[in-house]
Amino acid sequence: MSAQELTEEGLRPLARLGIKINACSLSQIELIAKLGFEGEFGLRWNPGIGSGGTKKTNVGGPASSFGIWHEKLPEVQALVSRLGLNVKRIHSHIGSGADVKVWEKAAELTLRIAAVFPSVTHFNLGGGFKVARVSGEKATDVHAAGASIRDSILRFHASTGRKLHLEIEPGTFLLANSGAVLSRVADIVDTGEAGHVFVKLDTGMTDILRPSLYGSQHPIVVLPDSETHAGQVNCVVVGHCCESGDLLTPAPGINDELSERALSTPQIGAFAVIYGAGAYCSAMSSKNYNSFPESPEVLIGTDRNIQLIRSRQTLDQMLQNEHPLV
């Protein structure tokens, strides 16, 4: 694991469990040595370049605080040697962009770092393989990226005689389009001919924050309640929280700019489905904002069996950690 924040209190239980730790800064290296960590130890590097669908998801380059800056390599070598640490893994993660050439460059730069640590056996390129959720979005060509990275590792082996075990973290790639948010149309309002038709859903940033935070695009389908309402209307879809930022149809990459969608003519009470919600949605949502409870979650198996995997949060659960003033 790699942690932006790693404290002595947080590291001790990880050490007891044998968790594999990547140090992300010089101070984390010193902390790991101080606690006598004997598990598998790695270093997360910032190779100097990044790639992201937006600036907020670009976690490499000089504008990113993640990982050890690549120019500190001599300093890290000296520190690791002085502390007697055995580096087994070199890790980098540059973000969630789709440009294969950036992935190629990041792999090459990270392998150069691996070359100076003879004890390294594992090479981790992180995740961030961009998934297309809507038509027109560019996804990472994983076959092209994989072929290029394979070639880089083979060249590394040819020049060093060392075989590295490649690790990737394809969470979003596997899960992004496996989930959906099922909601209902709560209200419909408009701001006149010069304005917009707003479709208000009974969900929002409390369940799916990506549109509000990143300007991310998610397919939205309104299910008409009858054939008489099967036409389409251009509308802006918004969430139920008390701020204009709870926007479900922003302009691509611009989280505070309204963008209309052509949807089946909505009626209050109709179902609306937001697709592409399998990754970084429930886990990243602004839970309990405006006192909305966590929504229930169900899992649909390959046999179409439906299983409840999380219950709706109750009011008592929302309040259980609060204490009355005395």
Q: For residue range 238-288, list pLDDT tens digits in order.
A: 999 999 999 999 999 999 999 999 999 999 999 999 999 999 999 999 999
Is 267 in contact with 229 (CB distance < 8 Å)? yes
The answer as to CATH 2.40.37.10 being correct for domain 179-287 is yes
Cα–Cα distance, 201 to 272 (Å, whole number)? 8
Is 207 in contact with 281 (CB distance < 8 Å)? yes
By residue count, the chain amounts to 326
Fold of 8-174: TIM Barrel (3.20.20)
Q: What is the pTM of this model?
A: 0.91
Domain(s) labelled CATH 2.40.37.10 in the chain stretch across 179-287
Cα–Cα distance, 200 to 268 (Å, whole number)? 9
Q: How confident is the model at residue 6 (pLDDT cuts 50, 70, 90)?
A: confident
Q: Which of 37, 54, 52 is nearest to 1 (CA)?
A: 37
pLDDT at 236: 98
Burial class of residue 71 (count of CB atoms within 10 Å of its CB; 0-12, 13-18, 19+): exposed
* Plot region of 215 (φ>0 → left; ψ -120 to 50 → alpha; else → beta): left
Q: Is 242 a catalytic residue?
A: yes
Q: Which of 45, 42, 36, 118 is nearest to 84 (CA)?
A: 36
Positive or negative, the Cα torsion across 148, 152, 157, 162?
Answer: negative
**Hey, what are 27's tokens?**
């101070």
CB atoms within 10 A of CB 166: 14
Active-site position among 24, 241, 242, 281: 242
In this predicted structure, the answer to whether residue 162 has a pLDDT above a threshold of 90 is: yes
Is 270 in contact with 224 (CB distance < 8 Å)? yes
CB atoms within 10 A of CB 292: 21
Domain(s) labelled CATH 3.20.20.10 in the chain stretch across 8-174
CB atoms within 10 A of CB 5: 7
Average pLDDT score over the chain: 92
> What count of Cα atoms within 13 Å lies in the side-chain half-sphere of residue 244?
3
Q: How confident is the model at residue 5 (pLDDT cuts 50, 70, 90)?
A: confident
Distance (Å) of CA 42 to CA 10, 65, 171, 267, 310: 17, 18, 20, 55, 35
pLDDT at 230: 66
- List pLDDT tens digits, range 37-72: 776 789 999 999 888 878 888 888 898 899 999 999
Residue spans of alpha helices (H) in 41-72: none
Mean pLDDT of 158-174: 93
Cα–Cα distance, 109 to 101 (Å, whole number)? 12
Mean pLDDT of 157-181: 94
pLDDT at 100: 85
Q: How confident is the model at residue 167 (pLDDT cuts 50, 70, 90)?
A: very high
Is 28 in contact with 50 (CB distance < 8 Å)? no
